[in-house]
Amino acid sequence: MKVAGMYFLTFCCFVFLLQLSTKAQYKSFTISAKGDTINRIDKKNLKLGKWVKRVEDLRGEPGYEEEGIYKDDLKEGVWRRYTLQGDPIGFETYLHNGKDGAQQYYSPLGELIREESWRGYNPDAPYDTIAVYGTGSNEIIDYKIVKAEQYSIKQGVWKYYEPVSGRLLKTEEWERNNLVLPNAAKPVVTGGKSLAGVKKEIQKTPEMLEWEKKNKGKKKVIRDGRTGL
C-alpha cells in the first residue's frame, strides 16, 4: 500500500509540474475532454498546434465546429468541419492559411455535395508570376513578376452533386481564378490573382479517401471524438 501511495504521489507531482511548464510556455490554452492541450496561444500571441473552433448559429446561418492545426498563427494541412451536432460536413486543406488542393463538402447526412480545387501560393517562393490581359480581349499580352502574398485561387475542376442520388449535376473548370467556358479558347476574366502551371484535376487527400471508404453507403455519420487529430 505504501509503495502504491508513493507511485500515486509521484504521478501527481509529475502532472503538477507538467501543468506549470505548460502555463509558463503558453499565454493561454485549453484542455480537451481527451486530456489534450489544444487552442494554444504562445507568448507572441500566435496560434499553434491543435485547435477546435466553434461558431454558433447566426442570422439564419447554421453554426459549425472545425478542427485542425495552426503553425505560427496560420492554418496548415487538413481541417475538418462538423455540424454542431457532430456530423462531418467538410474537409479543407490549407497552405499557409490559404486553401490549397482538394476540398470536399457534405450534407449533414454524409452525402458528398461539392468538390473544389484550389491553389495556394508557394510560401517558399518570394516572388510570383501573374498574367496581364488585354483590354476586352481576354488575351494574355504580358507577364509580370510581383512579390508573393498570401492568397488562394480557384484552379482545376469543381464538381457539384445531387445529395440523395449522388448524380453529378455540374462541372466547372477554373484556371487562375477564371471560369473556363465550354468551347471557349480563353477563360472569362472574373478578377483575382493569377498563377500559371497548375494541374487541373482535383487531387483528393488520403484523409478524404479514407473517410469515403469508411462511410460509403451510410446515411448518417456520427463523429466519434472531439478533436479527431
State yes or no: pLDDT of 1 exceeds 70. no
- Residues 58/38, Cβ–Cβ less than 8 Å: no
Phi, psi of 210 (to 5 degrees): -65, -40
Does the pTM surpass 0.85? The reply is no
Phi, psi of 107 (to 5 degrees): -75, 165
Query: Looking at this protein, which amino acid is placed at residue 202?
Result: I
Report the DSSP pairing between strands 168-175 and 26-31: unpaired
The pLDDT of residue 205: 75
Q: Is 163 exposed, middle or buried (0-12, 13-18, 19+ CB in 10 A)?
A: middle
For 25-34, which contacts have Cβ atoms below 8 Å and span 24 or more sequence positions? 32/226, 32/227, 33/226, 34/225, 34/226, 34/227
Report the DSSP pairing between strands 101-106 and 112-120: antiparallel
Q: Can you tell me the mean pLDDT for 71-87?
A: 95
* Alpha-carbon gap, residue 218 to 37, rounded angstroms: 32
Confidence tier at 202 by pLDDT (50, 70, 90): low
Pick 225 or 219 by higher pLDDT.
219
The pLDDT of residue 83: 96
Q: Is 181 helix (H, G, I), strand (E, B) or coil?
A: coil
Run of H or E residues at 118: strand 112-120
137 is written with which cell numbers?
480581349
The pLDDT of residue 134: 73
Q: Is 212 helix (H, G, I), strand (E, B) or coil?
A: helix
Average pLDDT, the chain: 78
State yes or no: pLDDT of 216 exceeds 90. no
